[in-house]
Structure 1
């Protein structure tokens, strides 16, 4: 969780590394319409900025104006890219692989170095707002995966494309595939 200027800078640095962003001046972001990673990077900057501004929650008027404008730009980028991601869900090193529909319940907690693809839904069990997933570190979430319920996914797991995960996976470095997802050890070469 971002709770200081130093942690804010650290989260941005880790996210930048995860996205393999090399050049990030404002001109390169706004003038290159073909580099989607830069648009996603811009979204992640606003996500982390909102986390920073809202977690510190200072009471002066200037801080409130910063929060308002940061949240407004965050919402605009969210709609443009198709992301419904609340602040404080993801740890550092977030990598959003593609633009497209991504929905994450605001109460879900996802660890560090997560890669998430398009058409992913991380949500609550219907009728139970607090029954949301907790996902460990270094997890890859494939395109179209659906993860829901009060479940835990261990560190290093790979969730396959279009998998529906509704049960815990307590063992690390597992491959979760199928509908409903079944945990398997990945084959090693």
Structure 2
């Protein structure tokens, strides 16, 4: 799922805002660093995916530099067009994501997370479903698929695929509960109708 037009852009922004539980005020835009980063990331995705003119592509390049600068300040290395709507970054701190990864809607990511590619298969990277929770320190890598509604525990090392609706943890990761974050939270954080 990518931002392909202005309607998509506004939808992604609203879902991210709801997932972060940020009120749409000027004060929050100016002082909530994670929200500012996510707004800049979504604007970059919109411009990168829709700009056809030289001026538009130049503006997208400027936005790329802005996202990189904000990311360095917060410790994030998150490329464009990886996360679906409803991204919620819990804290500032190291988060590194491979540009080939695909993560669905309503993902909550904590500090010190690394989502990386595969050494053996060039270009292969994790695909993570909707409504997932990624705990602090989780390492997810390789040509793997994680289903919808999966909670990945703190410091888990995930190097194989897992089905939907479970909680995984450990080194190497294994299923530790047959319920995912939606059962734990009792409802979805945001509306993902698209």
Common fold: TM-score over 0.5: yes
**Correspondent of 2:111 among 106, 118, 121:** 118
Name the SS of the counterpart of 2:175 in structure 1.
Answer: strand
Q: 2:106–2:130: 8 Å Cα contact kept in structure 1?
A: yes
| 1:168-183 paired onto structure 2 within 5 Å | 168-170=161-163, 172-183=164-175
Name the SS of the counterpart of 1:183 in structure 2.
Answer: strand
Single out whichever of 176-185 and 88-97 deviates more from structure 2: 176-185
Q: 2:126–2:140: 8 Å Cα contact kept in structure 1?
A: yes
1:46 to 2:40 alignment? yes
Q: 2: CA distance between counterparts of 1:24 and 1:109?
A: 30
TM-score scaled by length of structure 2 = 0.87
Count of matched residue positions in the alignment of Structure 1 and Structure 2: 180
Runs of 4+ in 1 over 3 A off after TM superposition: 27-30, 186-189
Name the SS of the counterpart of 2:168 in structure 1.
Answer: strand
1:144 to 2:137 alignment? yes
2:13 matched residue in structure 1: 12
Q: 1: CA distance between counterparts of 2:155 and 2:165?
A: 19
TM-score scaled by length of structure 1 = 0.89
Give RMSD over aligned pairs.
1.7
TM superposition shift of 1:186 = 4.3
Name the SS of the counterpart of 2:80 in structure 1.
Answer: coil
